[in-house]
Amino acid sequence: MKTFVRNKDVARTTMMTNVKRLITISAVLLAATTTAATDAQAQVTTIVNYSFNVPIAKVLPNPCTGGFTLVNGTTTLAITALQQTAFQLKTSLTSSGSGKDVTVDGLPVIFGALPDYEYSSDGSLIATFPDGIPSYFEHTLPMADFLVRDASTLTGDSYMMRTVLRLKFNNGIPSAPVLESISVACE
């Protein structure tokens, strides 16, 4: 019976020694990783990507013909927020769509309609803030799309559509872009 109790005491002592070693090793590793993290914090780069699709469906006056065009398209806004020593916002816009000849009410013109218009464009903007993330930032992004008929010959009624989007950022986080204005001009 004594032999059995002695083996139990040895096992308990060995287990306590292993637990003490494990606690000591964990404390040393925690101290090492905490110290290493504070040295590397200045070198950490954080990248966050946002993407918004802004659908456009609007009847516009056609400045070249005196008629109207139903413009259907999408503007895709991609934003990358990059935090290093400075904070940087990279914005890219891609726009594409088509346009149909319509009446003032938006109904398609059936007789005498020319081929549909097509348009596409892209653009970009970079804003850098050397002091870090701004608490508030607002900016307008202009976009110019040239509407051209999908025809083998020139029709003489191509025109420019200018779109302005307003972006707002709170603490580096963008809200959904707002369509501020659309204007047209015969080119």
140-173 per-position pLDDT tens digit = 888 888 899 988 888 888 999 888 888 888 888 8
**Shared-domain flag, residues 144 and 169:** yes
Mean pLDDT of 32-60: 69
Structure tokens belonging to residue 142 = 């202009």
71-93 per-position pLDDT tens digit = 999 988 888 888 888 889 888 88
**Shared-domain flag, residues 71 and 91:** yes
User: Among 39-48, 108-117, 123-132, which stretch is predicted with the lowest mean pLDDT?
Assistant: 39-48
Strands (E), 62-102: 68-83, 87-102
Q: How far apart are CA 76 and CA 152, in angstroms?
A: 29
**Shared-domain flag, residues 25 and 80:** no
Give residue 19's domain range: 2-41
**Shared-domain flag, residues 71 and 36:** no
